[in-house]
Amino acid sequence: MNLTYCGRTHICGRAKNEDAFAMEQVTGALAAFTVADGLGGQPAGEVASRIAVSSLMETIRRLAPGDTSCSPGQMREILNKGFQAASVAIAQDVSASPEHAGMATTLVAALINDSFDVVIAYAGDSRAYCYGNELVQVTKDHSLVQELVRRGVITTDAAELHPDKHIVTRVVSEIPVSPDITEFGLEKNTLLLCTDGLTDALSAEEISSEMRDTDVNRICENLIGRSLRVKRDNTTIIVIRAAPRP
């Protein structure tokens, strides 16, 4: 595989960072990326996000089929099992530390195989975008306002300004949850995973303008820098691109 990628996280003016992320070339034929945002206002959000990311990655490592190619179907199965394992790990932590009862996190994860097939699983409002000629959101927020948009009660533009936009309707917690899953080909596009700290701070146009850069490290630095100037919420991003073949 020939991927180039980077990840960054910043507290962005909050008292603590409740986000977590991980990036790993798991085998010669499979890479994994994940971002989580522990729920603010709930107990131990930073614990929930860290446990979810760690448990998911452990599951991926355990189930990855060596250096042989991993099909999109296999990737779907691995991600489903990873999300279930995350809930089990959170439940075990709550059992050992009752003060953590109620903790939860968003979780978005991408697996990429050696054919550059991308499979994304997610729960909550952390997002995945694909950037080619334009920025396309490939996940759909599990949130109250997204449900209102889906039902035609409010417009997409109104959703961005809605006072309840941060109320999520699906999360990873001690209660098992099934993620939504989507897949597509990476090709010459750039994949962005992020928490809502980025999308609250920057418009789609502002994000898109940075995604045009040819250097993924510069994209990361510039997006975090622009989010930091707003200082609205913890911000975590991962940017992935298939490196040009020699």
- Domains with residue ranges and CATH for the chain: 3-236 (3.60.40.10)
Hey, how many other C-beta atoms are within 10 angstroms of the C-beta on 8?
Answer: 18
Q: Average pLDDT of 24-53?
A: 94
Q: Average pLDDT of 139-168?
A: 78
Flag the least confident range among 38-52, 107-121, 127-141, 144-158: 144-158
Hey, how many other C-beta atoms are within 10 angstroms of the C-beta on 221?
Answer: 15
Q: Is the pLDDT of residue 39 over 90?
A: yes
Q: Is the pLDDT of residue 157 over 80?
A: no
Model confidence at 245, pLDDT cuts 50, 70, 90, reads low
Computed over every residue of the chain, the mean pLDDT equals 93
Tens digit of pLDDT for each residue in 52-90? 999 999 999 999 998 889 999 999 999 999 999 999 999
Tens digit of pLDDT for each residue in 79-133? 999 999 999 999 999 999 999 999 999 999 999 999 999 999 999 999 999 999 8
User: Cβ neighbours of residue 150 under 8 Å, at least 6 residues apart?
Assistant: none
Q: Average pLDDT of 178-198?
A: 96
| Per-residue pLDDT at 217 | 96
In the beta sheet, which residues pair with residue 237?
8, 194
Contact 7, 21 (CB under 8 A): yes
